[in-house]
Structure 1
Amino acid sequence: MGKSKSNNKVGQSPSPTPPKDELPLVVVLPGDDVTDRILPPSSDSSTTTTTTTKKPKLGVGLSYNPTTHRIQATLAGKLRQHRNNKAFFVQQNTKRYVPALEDRVVVVVEDRIGSDGVGGDLYRVNMGGPHPALMSSLAFEGASKRNKPQFAPGTLLYARVATLYRNGMMDPVLSCQNGPHDLGIAPKDWMTNEGTYGELKGGTMARVSLGLARELLRPSTNVVLDELAQPQYKLAFELAVGVNGFVWVHSTRPEYTILIHNAIRNSEVLTPPQVRAMVQSLVFTVQKQIQQNADREEDV
């Protein structure tokens, strides 16, 4: 997760314990009562009897009954809470990606479709959703009419969903400039390739399930990324994860890139101890093969 693509530098192992404000893993089914997990318990006091009940912030998959003040799940999935607006929601492992505002996504440039009307080039990109998205070459930090990036079809970009039209009449608009959720992150000129967003050079991209992609974006509780970042493996790599299910990996050797992609895919159906054992086995096998190939070349 280097180059600030996913908030975790290579060589820094994310903490295996979740932050204090993070919900423990809870799987819910339609009809489950989740009130006690969302609303704080009421405290009785001998001096005051306040009975005000404030409706919590609820997102998709949750229903609030104002009469009983109970909250029920309407979808099957994992109970989550947004870090930004603190709203609770049920996270599903759906097959089709539906864009949401400020989503961070990995996209593929399809072609240049003309001018954006203000001096930049307009590109159509594939984000794995029901419709393509649009991006201007001026939507990059430090870009201008004279100094703007140019992309060939097949170029990979890490971007955010800047504009979304709910009526579906227009395609989403992406940006590689810092957004409202990137406060505190210093913008870097697009030519430095050191910003949060921008072109993903080298490496390979693979698709994973949307549920796995969201888990990878929670480094504080993700076991596979924690294990891959262990210093004893000496795996120097960069990783960019999009909530649209596109994962880009760039490492020092092609064998390590394949190893990381395989480890990420395998981790979806394994327990944490199994994930760590799986990563250890993959690293041992790949590094042993690399050493054997090097020995053969020396003999020749």
Structure 2
Amino acid sequence: MSSSELVFPGQSVPAKHVNLKLGPGLQQQASYSDPSESTVVATKAGLLQHSANRSKWWVDSNSRRYVPAPQESVVGAVTQRQGEGYRVDIGGAHQASLDALAFEGATKRNKPNLKVGSLVYARVSLAHKDMEPELECFDAQTRKSEGYGELKGGFIIRCSLKMCRNLLDPKHFLLPLLGSKFPLESAIGMNGRVWISAKEPRQIIAIARCIEATDPDGGGMDAEGVKALLDTLEV
């Protein structure tokens, strides 16, 4: 990670790499003076971040409005069957499309039969401001599901986008702490939705309460606070 620098919309960003990948809040623009040259500019205010090898760059800002970006994992709900695929609500300005063949091992004769209201954990394969986003439920390189696909049972929690990024960080305390108390499953979308499943309803309620309490938009509770909260919930 970089030492975070605050950037504002329209500000140029020094993002350069052979395999440059831009995440949320950044956009590549051609130079007016030399069309072969391009610059990277911020499209929203926040903290500029990059990966250790500086190949991935993004702007970290706390928001509840999701703007789809390629390669991001999302939790969505099927709203409509459409020809050979589905329309899926992922919380963005536009609904996303999901082809029925975009699942591991799917063929024209053997493909999933999702119903309206079904939940899916998917990856954004195409995202552009002027087009509907497209989803797929497998890893593009291995063609294996890698955890993507229909989510059965469980419960959806909505939280800030910042909280989702926190939960995806292996160093964040919350999910390991909850996992030490009881078995659970989770699918974390970058779109402000977290799917959780546990054996007992009271455990699901406890997970939801802890995520809400830890969310920077909520109480921003630390590990000690969560332990005390779990004691009061008796799980």
1:197-253 per-position Cα deviation (integer Å, ceiling 9, x unaligned)? 011111100111111111211122x12223223x3x2x1000111001111000111
Query: TM-score, normalised to structure 2's length?
Result: 0.78
Partners of 1:74 and 1:149 in 2: CA distance = 37
- 2:226 corresponds, among 279, 286, 294, to 279
Partners of 2:45 and 2:129 in 1: CA distance = 25
Partners of 2:53 and 2:150 in 1: CA distance = 26
Partners of 2:56 and 2:162 in 1: CA distance = 19
Partners of 1:217 and 1:98 in 2: CA distance = 18
Partner of 1:239: 186
- 1:219 corresponds, among 139, 158, 170, to 170
Partner of 2:88: 125
Query: TM-score, normalised to structure 1's length?
Result: 0.62
Give 1:153's aligned amino acid: V
1:114-145 per-position Cα deviation (integer Å, ceiling 9, x unaligned)? 2x3xxxxx111100000001112211001112
Matching of residues 235-274 of structure 1 within 5 Å? 235-269=182-216, 274=221
1:168-215 per-position Cα deviation (integer Å, ceiling 9, x unaligned)? 3xx2211102124xx6xx825xxxxxx420111111001111111112
Partner of 1:4: none
- 1:86 corresponds, among 39, 43, 55, to 55
Give 1:139's aligned amino acid: A
**Which structure shows the bigger proportion of residues in strand conformation?**
2
SS in 1 for 2:222: helix
Report if the CA contact (8 A) 1:29-1:74 is conserved.
Answer: no
Structure 2: state its 5+ residue gaps.
28-40
Partners of 2:106 and 2:21 in 1: CA distance = 39
Partner of 2:110: 147
Report if the CA contact (8 A) 2:87-2:98 is conserved.
Answer: yes
Taking a change above 3 Å as real, the CA distance of residues 148 and 95 of structure 1, as seen in their structure-2 partners, is same
Q: How big is the alpha-carbon RMSD for the aligned residues of Structure 1 and Structure 2?
A: 3.3
Work out which structure has the larger RCO, using CA pairs closer than 8 Å and 6 or more positions apart in sequence: 1
User: How far off is 1:262 after superposition?
Assistant: 1.2
**Which structure shows the bigger proportion of residues in helix conformation?**
1
How many residues matched? 216
Partner of 1:113: 82
Structure 1: state its 5+ residue gaps.
1-21, 40-54, 63-71, 117-121, 189-194, 291-300
Give the fraction of aligned pairs with identical amino acids, expressed as a percent.
36
SS in 2 for 1:142: coil
- Is structure 2 residue 6 aligned with structure 1 residue 28? yes
- 2:157 corresponds, among 206, 231, 245, to 206
Report if the CA contact (8 A) 1:132-1:172 is conserved.
Answer: yes
SS in 2 for 1:172: strand
Partners of 1:160 and 1:255 in 2: CA distance = 30
1:54-82 per-position Cα deviation (integer Å, ceiling 9, x unaligned)? x56695469xxxxxxxxx98964334214
Taking a change above 3 Å as real, the CA distance of residues 283 and 27 of structure 1, as seen in their structure-2 partners, is farther
Partner of 1:104: 73
Taking a change above 3 Å as real, the CA distance of residues 139 and 241 of structure 1, as seen in their structure-2 partners, is same
